[in-house]
Each structure stands twice: as C-alpha cells, then as structure tokens.
Amino acid sequence: MNTPVDALPEERQRLIIERLRQRGRVVAVELAREFDVSEDSIRRDLRELAAQGLCKRVYGGALPLSAAVAPLKERRQENVMRKQALARKAATLVRAGQILMIDAGTTNSAIAAALPDHLDLTVVTNAPDIAQVLMEREGFEILLIGGRIDPRVGATVGAQALQEIEQIRADICFPGACAMDAESGLWGFDSEETRLKRAMVRACGETVVVVTSDKINTVATYRIAETADVQHIVVEGDTDGSIVASLTARGPQVHRADEG
C-alpha cells in the first residue's frame, strides 16, 4: 500500500491502527520512515492512540490491545473445539502425583476436563466450575480456594484467595491468559485478578500458558509474568512459525496443539 507522506495526523493515526492489525506490532522508527515524519511525531501519535485505548505503548513502538474479556457465560460458547485441542496438548505436560494450580477460564476448564484419570493428581483452583468437573471423577484431590466470587470471571478473587494461594506450593500452574506477547510477556485486564495470577506463578515450579491465536502478539493492562518466567506455552496447531520462533527465543518450550 502506498502511504501519503502528507497525511494529516488523524489519517496517519488511522493508518497506524491499520498497520497494527496487519502486523501485530508497529515500530516507531519504521513508521517514521514510512510516513516521512519525525519519530517524535510518531511517538505523539502512539501516545494519543494509547490514551484512546486503541493500542498499548511498548519500548520502541506499540502493540494492539487484546479484546476485552466477555462474561464467562458467553466465553463458554466461543471456540470450543479450538480450546479442547489446546487442552488435550496441555494435559500431556502433566505427570503422575503432581500438584496442579488451575486458574479460572474456559480454556482452563477444558484442561481440567482433559486431565487423565488415575494419575493421583491434586488440583488447586479458584474456579468452582473446575472443581465441579473434577469432583465427579475418580482419582483427584481437589482444593478449592475460598474468598469472594467474581461472577464475571467465575472464580474467587480478593485478599482471602490471595492469602490462601500464597500458603501453597504446587508443581505446575495454568494461569488464565488474556494476552501474550513474546517481548512483553503474559498480561491480564483486571488488577485484582492479575495479583492472583502472579501469586499462582510464584507458587509453582513450572508455568504453562495455554493461549488461543487471537491473544498472541497482544497486550492488556497489567503484566502477569515475563515470557522468560514461563516454561511452556501451548499454541494452536496452525500458529505461524515466526510467532513460535519469537516465543521460543525468549526461553519457553512451545507446544503446538494437534490440528483437526
């Protein structure tokens, strides 16, 4: 696409958002060259776009914001087959006798359902629906984290839940992922929920992030963990190889879900 070098700031900002959607991220120095303007002008554009909630400023450029989290009831109907495929792959990372910490979320509910029987697993969760899924099966010990239930996320949050998590040591953590970017890490939207996710990561020996493609190369409001603090990332089978390479370069082992 040919870019008009004399574009007004409003038109330039519209084109920047278009580039974000196409590329997944934008770099200020490249935009300045493309639009034939100063880097200061581009940085001002990015500040204004971020103030409008249209992107997230990062060092050297910007990333698109992940879509806001829909209510749990709606999310249960979205991308069911894709989440099940991710869950099956995630379940292969679990070993007999381990203590798992499973955060709330529809993908994590699918992971709980995909866990094999007869592995003598202990599951710690703040999500009543996950506890219910496993309570009906043999071979699981379940510890439900207490506290105030946020109906939007379908799980306990707040001081009591945080305190209980901080008293536990687990083998593997599955934190719910709102957004994941190779350079900037794992992100969440809600400050209270993010504090809980951070505590889960600290409480576990390994962290496994399971993420649908629409959440990759995006950020949200609050950082949960650096990419280097994540040991495993499970992505969809058709995820672009360049994305897998950028994630792997930061340290985690990336696993593709089986396609189909």
Banded pLDDT at 62 (limits 50, 70, 90): confident
- What confidence tens digit (pLDDT) does each residue in 195-243 have? 999 999 999 999 999 999 888 988 888 899 999 999 999 999 999 999 9
The residues, ordered by sequence, that sit 6+ positions from 52 with a Cβ below 8 Å of its Cβ are: none
Last residue of a domain, one of 41, 63, 85: 63
More confident residue, 108 or 66: 108
Computed over every residue of the chain, the mean pLDDT equals 88
Give the three-class secondary structure for 51.
helix
Q: DSSP states of 139-207 as a string?
A: TEEEEE--SEEETTTTEEESHHHHHHHHT--EEEEE---SEEETTTEEEES-HHHHHHHHHHHHHEEEE
Are 18 and 82 contained in the same domain?
A: no
* pLDDT tens digits for range 32-53: 999 999 989 998 998 888 887 7
Tell me whether residue 196 is in a domain: yes
Confidence (pLDDT) at 260: 46
**Is residue 76 domain-shared with residue 173, that is, in the same domain?**
yes
Is the separation of the CB atoms in 15 and 9 below 8 Å? no
Residues 6+ apart with CB under 8 A from 255: 89, 90, 92, 93, 232, 233, 234, 235
Q: 248-257, pLDDT tens digit by residue?
A: 999 999 999 9
Token look-up 């989440």 returns 83
Residue located via tokens 């040919």: 2
Q: Is the confidence at residue 1, as pLDDT, over 50?
A: no
Domain of residue 199, residue span? 72-256
4 within some domain: no
Helix then strand count (H, E) for the chain reads: 10, 15
Mean pLDDT, range 118-125, rounded to an integer: 96
Q: Are 56 and 84 within one domain?
A: no
